């Protein structure tokens, strides 16, 4: 009897611990609403093995489904369709380097890029076709709506260190969106983007879901092609259609 009660206590304590963390996919409070009372760097993983198991960190970033971002190489690839990724056109992952995704259980999914279409010079975007579609447990990201790209809006910045930071929209100029550091939150949420961060995605929360806004081209707070712009969306879809 005592042994049974002890096991029940362990299970109940574990459930309480999990419930104290951000719930997977609970994005109703928006970007700033994810942040904990005590500032905490947005590290995505407790541990990460590119072709082995990974463990998503149970911090504020756990609410963000980042399974559709391939983190195993600095030439980052972001999934937008069952079999297509976007990258920086000046920083394309070659076909002999695996594109590794990890589902929410940390299990790896391996794919390779078999074809690429660049949108340059119109935009620093390359569309890559994977050798096989990915399974349902890997996130596909829709494009952000242009109506939400407003000055001062909080955004979720990623980088080569597998970390999420929070900046804000500074301006939208043609097909490029620029960011600034958010003045109202702790500096721990800032990232000075550097060489090697190119192609990492920026997201916003829209309609209770993560939407792809940008992939990095310039450093500092970040600047890159804006996927909310219709011209870029049309070019991406045309590249996908050409490779199907």
208 assigned to some structural domain: yes
pTM listed for this prediction: 0.89
- Residue 24 counted as domain residue: no
Question: In the predicted model, is pLDDT for residue 243 greater than 70?
Answer: yes
Q: With 70 as the cut, is the pLDDT of residue 240 above it?
A: yes
Asked if residue 19 has pLDDT above 60, the reply is no
What phi-psi label fits residue 174: left (phi over 0), alpha (psi between -120 and 50 degrees) or beta? left
Residue 1 has pLDDT above 90, yes or no: no
Shared domain check, 210 and 130: no
**Whether 131 and 184 share a structural domain:** no
Name residue, tokens 């910045």: 157
Encode pLDDT of 174-228 as tens digits.
Answer: 999 999 999 999 999 999 999 999 999 999 999 999 999 999 999 999 999 999 9
236 in the same domain as 226 = no
Let me know if residue 91 belongs to a domain: yes
Q: What is the pLDDT of residue 5?
A: 41
List pLDDT tens digits, range 124-183. 999 999 999 999 999 999 999 999 999 999 999 999 999 999 999 999 999 999 999 999
Question: In this structure, is residue 163 part of a structural domain?
Answer: yes
Q: Using a CB cutoff of 8 Å and minimum separation of 24, what contacts does 133-136 make?
A: 133/82, 133/83, 134/79, 134/82, 134/83, 134/101, 134/109, 135/103, 135/109
Do 91 and 154 belong together in one domain? no
pLDDT of residue 209: 96
Same domain (yes/no): 69, 132: yes
**How many folded domains does the chain comprise?**
2
Query: Angle 149-155-159 (CA atoms, 0-180°, nearest 5)?
Result: 130
Specify whether the CB–CB gap between 95 and 115 falls below 8 A: no
Instruction: Name every residue whose Cβ is closer than 8 Å to that of residue 203 and which is 6 or more positions away in sequence.
Output: 64, 141, 144, 155, 156, 158, 210, 211, 212, 213
Half-sphere exposure of 185 (CA within 13 A, CB side): 25
Residues 126 and 57 in one domain: yes
Q: Is the pLDDT of residue 43 over 70?
A: yes
Please tell me whether residues 78 and 197 are part of one structural domain: no
Question: Could you tell me the pLDDT band of residue 28, with boundaries at 50, 70 and 90?
Answer: confident
Q: Does 213 map to a domain?
A: yes
Cβ–Cβ contacts within 10 Å for residue 238, how many? 13
CA angle centred on 148, ends 153 and 175, rounded to 5°: 95
Q: What is the CATH classification number for the domain harbouring 63?
A: 2.40.10.10
How far is the C-alpha of 95 from the C-alpha of 164, rounded, in Å? 27
Tell whether 13 is covered by a domain: no
Per the CB < 8 A criterion, the answer to whether 88 and 217 are in contact is yes
Same domain, 239 and 130: yes
- Based on the domain organization, do 163 and 220 belong to the same domain? yes
- As a whole number of angstroms, the distance between CA 190 and CA 24 comes to 23
Domain that holds residue 197: 142-230
- Dist. CA 178–CA 126, nearest whole Å: 19
Q: What pLDDT does 119 receive? A: 98
Dihedral sign, CA of 103, 227, 163, 38?
Answer: negative
Q: Which residues contact 242 (CB under 8 A, 6 or more apart)?
A: 117
Once rounded to an integer, what is the mean pLDDT over residues 226-238?
A: 98
> Do 166 and 116 belong together in one domain?
no
Mean pLDDT of 55-76: 97
Is residue 33 in some structural domain? no
Q: Are residues 108 and 171 in the same domain?
A: no
Structure tokens at 42: 């947005």
**pLDDT for res 27:** 84
Q: Is residue 18 part of a domain?
A: no
């Amino acid at each position: 009897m005592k042994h049974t009660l002890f096991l029940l206590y362990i299970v109940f304590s574990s459930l309480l611990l999990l419930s104290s963390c951000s719930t997977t996919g609970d994005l109703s409070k928006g970007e700033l609403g994810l942040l904990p009372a005590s500032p905490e760097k947005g590290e995505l993983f407790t541990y990460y093995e590119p072709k082995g198991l990974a463990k998503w960190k149970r911090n504020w970033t756990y609410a963000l489904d980042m399974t559709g971002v391939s983190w195993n190489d600095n030439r980052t690839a972001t999934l937008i369709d069952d079999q297509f990724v976007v990258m920086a056109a000046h920083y394309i992952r070659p076909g002999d380097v695996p594109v590794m995704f990890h589902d929410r259980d940390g299990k790896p999914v391996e794919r390779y890029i078999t074809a690429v279409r660049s949108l340059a010079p119109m935009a620093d975007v390359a569309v890559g076709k994977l050798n096989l579609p990915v399974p349902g447990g890997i996130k596909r990201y829709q494009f952000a709506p242009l109506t939400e790209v407003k000055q001062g809006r909080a955004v979720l910045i990623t980088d080569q260190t597998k970390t999420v930071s929070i900046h804000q929209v500074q301006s939208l100029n043609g097909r490029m969106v620029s960011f600034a550091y958010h003045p109202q939150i702790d500096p721990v949420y800032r990232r000075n983007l550097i060489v090697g961060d190119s192609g990492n995605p920026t997201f916003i929360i829209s309609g209770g879901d993560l939407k792809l806004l940008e992939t990095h081209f310039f450093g500092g707070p970040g600047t890159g092609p804006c996927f909310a712009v219709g011209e870029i969306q049309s070019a991406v879809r045309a590249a996908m259609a050409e490779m199907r």
